[in-house]
Amino acid sequence: MRAFIFPGQGSQTVGMGQALSAASAVAREVFQEVDEALGQHLSRLMAEGPAEELMLTENAQPAIMANAIATLRVLEREGGIRLADKAEFVAGHSLGEYTALCAAGALGLAETARLLRIRGQAMQAAVPVGEGAMAALLGLDFEAARQIAADAAEGEVCEAANDNAPGQVVVSGSKAAVERAVELAKVRGGKRAMLLPVSAPFHCSLMEPAARAMEKALAGADLRAPLVPVYANVTAAPVADAATIRTLLVEQVTGTVRWRESVEAMAAAGVAEFIEFGGKVLGPMVKRIAPDATPTSIVTMDDIEALSKAL
């Protein structure tokens, strides 16, 4: 069995999609449709930078999605591949869940781009710059990291935001509380703990205003049942009902990204092959979570051609 998976924020880089766009009219169509949906030359920003502007959450989220969907569309159109014939499930990390839904036909490309623009703006606006933080706690299991976050809160917000892989948990919340969590992790057996260079404290209760913004945006979105089930971040379980997906996407803004559990569940369901489109971030995580699985990253035209022959 096979799952198609899609990366989250942090996989953006200046030059992303440029070679693919030069090589394929299909990729250029994807980037053009996203540009038109946003009323912005996002593809130029992706290709040329500046990096500081591309890293802004409201730009990074649709850019990462567009790059991943372009990669998939080239495979589908030029390789004659149908996702529903080649993958039993789709999944994505944080914003990648929207990409997964787009890939599986639950959301149109233009609508996905607009939703991610709203999501990025709302998440950035939810907490004034400098008041929130996120930190990676390495070498601790999820329960230990969650307890450290709870103990570090001291009346402020500090919560487990991303359960990425064994020994890799990200906490999020008020800056002082997250800084306390970093220090606590060091004395409670963590191998390493460090603040992350992010612009807002994602996936914690401080994002509640962003959740309300997404509830409103998703209420008016044309969201259909996906061609194959999507593993939801907040439940680590497959879902194929549009109304449920809508609810879970709202919960996802403040909820923990349960990526480790999602991969474990897919592997337990029989998935042996995980194909990541548009990034090289999730593959190493998959290998740590499910050592017997085979992860593949698809980024270049050569990657796409090799996968087309292999499927």
Which positions are annotated as active-site residues?
94, 203
Task: Decide: 68 and 96 in contact? Cβ < 8 Å.
Answer: yes
142 close to 163: Cβ distance less than 8 angstroms? yes
Q: Rounded to an integer, what distance in angstroms lies between the CA atom of residue 164 and that of residue 158?
A: 17
- Amino acid at residue number 215: E
Beta-carbon neighbour count of residue 183 at 10 Å?
12
Compute, in degrees rounded to 10, the torsion defined by CA atoms 151, 202, 241, 275: -100
135: Cα within 13 Å, side-chain hemisphere: 30
Among the listed residues 89, 92, 90, 40, the one whose alpha carbon sits nearest the alpha carbon of residue 65? 92
